[in-house]
Chains A and B, each alone.
Chain A
Amino acid sequence: MMPDLQQVGPAQTQQWAPEVNVPVVLLENVSKTYGKIHALSEITLALSGGVTGILGMNGAGKSTLFNLLMGKLKPSSGSIKLFGTDPWKNPAPYARIGFVPEHEKMHDWMTAHGFVSLFARLNGLTRQEAKIEADRVLDFVGLADVAHKQIGRYSKGMRQRVKIAHALVNDPDLIVLDEPLQGCDPLARTTIMNVIRELGKMGRTVLVSSHILHEIERITEQIVILHNGRLLALGNLHAIREKMDNIPHTISIGCENPKELAKDVINNDAVFGISFPSGDNLQIQTHNLNEVHRVLPSLIVDNGHVVNSIDNPDDDLESILKYLTGGLA
């Protein structure tokens, strides 16, 4: 069987057919162990449609989970089904899946267009069809004008977008993105987030992993939190946050005159504590984060304060984890 290097004729037909009425992603009691180390334990998860953020600190098991989904690792126990098929045994479901790996290495000698059309051909497209598809997806991620430059000359954000383009080339129903925003400049970040949101609106199932909460927050509210290989929470980020409103939060304000600002802030009922870590910094303790954020801007503007920064140093994944684990994190 010699390779058909000319590749003329119709595209491939789907021999494999996805099962109907099953979740797109279905994990049942999936564990992955390396000797005594449990990279993932007893994960049960069913996902279909919409954008889901997979949140977890580094080493929480996000990449292990994705590698299991992409058939690169074999689960130590439990079963994984994508469209009803086990990916370790059969790569056919990947005809409907796009994957953006975390790794930075790419084939730098290829042009973006060559790279994307190569993988389009691996989806069974002919050479001509692959070129058309490559143009389409590179335009979708905003790289149409640089598509014929070598990947090696791209910035980090552009490379990330090429990876996304290559994953979208088969018009997949499930898109898995492993840390797609890592190391990107703000512009690339915005573009990538828009692309992901767009895909969600199109009704695709999208999995995005990140270890930074507000990245995910800007994309989706549906989250899965992994911690030390365990599934810690699953559901709406908003709901989780509301529960957290009863625990104290800290807001850090960088300003020129913290003492003056403190006088104005302390009158608010939501604020129950104030401290001055340094000469140009004010920290507020509150039980009601939303309320403080609502009144703070007008308070600052009305009294003419000069404010450089407002941060919620503990409004991050770590504090959510601390809350969810009862301080054990």
Chain B
Amino acid sequence: MMVPPKKDNVFRALDRKLGAVAEFTMRQYRTKLSTWVVLGVGFIAIAIIVLFYVDSMQQEIEAIDNDGDSMDWDGDGYPTGQERIYGTDPGNPDSHPGTFSPPIAPDPPEKWINEDDFDWDLSATGDTTVGYDDDGDCRLADTTESQKDRNRNNVNCDIILDYSEMSGRWLQPQSDGFVDEDPDEEKYSREAIHRAFLLAIGKMGFVFLLGIFLPLFLATGLIREEMDNSTMHFMLAKPIARRDIFLGRIVGYLGIVWPYIIAMGILVGLISGFAGPGDGLFRFADLGIWMAIIFATMLATLVYGMLFCALGTLWKHGIVLALPFAAWELGMAIVSFNAPAASILRFSVIGWSLNIIDAAALIVWPNLSLFIEMGQWGGGYAGDYWGSQLEGADALSAFASDTGLGIGPLATIAVSTVVLLFQALVLWIVGSAIFKGKEIE
């Protein structure tokens, strides 16, 4: 029996025309020098950020003696930490373990650097206590009881971690004295810098830089250039509605921009995955972040593409109208870093796009805020010394932010995606209405 051919409805006919406009637009982009210049500049901008990252991953992170016990204050050849363990006076050159019988050989000072690293369980949930006094200086007899239980939880030599249900963040740790007071900078900072880089390049490099500038230079002229060149006359004389021309042009623009973003994301993702810290050869866990970065940037280029194309259609110098929007979005990007819950962010594109990356970061690194607290807390109290912040903690704190919607990460991604698609839909309708009302000479 013959299968009757599928009925060709109005959607299939539209689909063909849309496909033709989209394909034409993609081929037209390829012939324009400006396309290659814009894509090339985008590549160079991202490449420079990546170079800084690769360089920072190569650099040695200086091991800092956070509690000062590698110093030999009295000049007797024994570091303070060693003298304290043996109960000699670190301030008296005549009192040192060398006077013991049999005499104890002096430790090299390096042994007393990074000797009391974090013993934290980062998978902790809710209030918990962590920490172990690796170098034993908390448990010494001459450490006072108030130093041993500075956080007053009746447990000596521990650290209390508090989780605030209100803010959904970890609070600053409360520690007893001399616990985890000389952490390993290398171990912490490499990871922190790596995470900060991922969030920074994802938010500023991809969503902001590529997400705004590619549409600004590639989409603003989509309709306008054809109108000014009077080549639009050919298309308008065919049985295709103007809103379909508008959509077809956008689809063609996405046909160039989306593969570019995906390729860039994969490229930078591979570089950072291999160059980043970790035991494995490749950081597979980061792929979740990269998927979110690529996805958020694709949505941003869609919405901005619709917006800038509409502005270009509205006015010959549409780029002048587009610049204030770009400035607004930059401002909103900065706001989102500091006040992710600010309701003004809901009136932006970037606020929603960045939400997707922040939510993905929470899925991949569930205790990101605890990790940041850890680095900012540094080494805690160690006699005359207060722990100093570890490198990378501030950068990570600057680029990481809460999702701001007060809902779970997956729900945040879903809601943000729907909102961005809705924005694109509204801008398509507005843009087509502008185009439809345009009289073209």
Contact = CB atoms under 8 A, between A and B. Distances in A.
A93 interface: yes
Q: Chain B interface residue count: which class? A: 35 or more
Contacts of B13: 12-13, 15, 124
A21 B21 CA distance: 34
Interface in B229-245: 229-231, 233-242
A183 interface: no
A93 B237 CA distance: 10
Nearest to B228: A105
A121 B17 CA distance: 6
> Per DSSP, are chain A's interface residues mostly helix, strand or loop, or mixed?
loop
Given A12-B16, A72-B441, A3 B22 contact: yes
Interface string A117-129: 0110111111000
A254 B11 CA distance: 66
B17 A13 contact: no
A3 B15 CA distance: 5
A171 to B, nearest CB: 13
A9 B236 contact: no
> Per DSSP, are chain B's interface residues mostly helix, strand or loop, or mixed?
helix
B327 interface: no
Interface in A80-112: 91-95, 97-99, 101, 103, 105-107, 109-110
Contact of A122 (B10, B238, B251): B238
Contact of A95 (B16, B24, B239): B239
Contact of A99 (B229, B237, B441): B237
B23 interface: yes
Nearest to A124: B13
A74 interface: yes
Contacts of A67: 440-441
Interface string B1-20: 00001101011111111111
Contacts of A251: none
A149 to B, nearest CB: 15
A74 B239 contact: no
Nearest to B245: A122
A190 interface: no
A126 B13 CA distance: 9
A105 B231 contact: yes
- Most chain B beta-carbon neighbours within 10 Å: one of A12, A92, A123: A12
Interface in A289-318: none
Given A74-B439, A91-B238, A94-B239, 13 more contacts: A1-B14, A3-B18, A4-B19, A5-B22, A5-B23, A91-B236, A99-B237, A101-B237, A105-B231, A122-B20, A122-B21, A123-B238, A126-B16
Interface of B: 5-6, 8, 10-24, 27-28, 31, 229-231, 233-242, 248, 251, 439-441
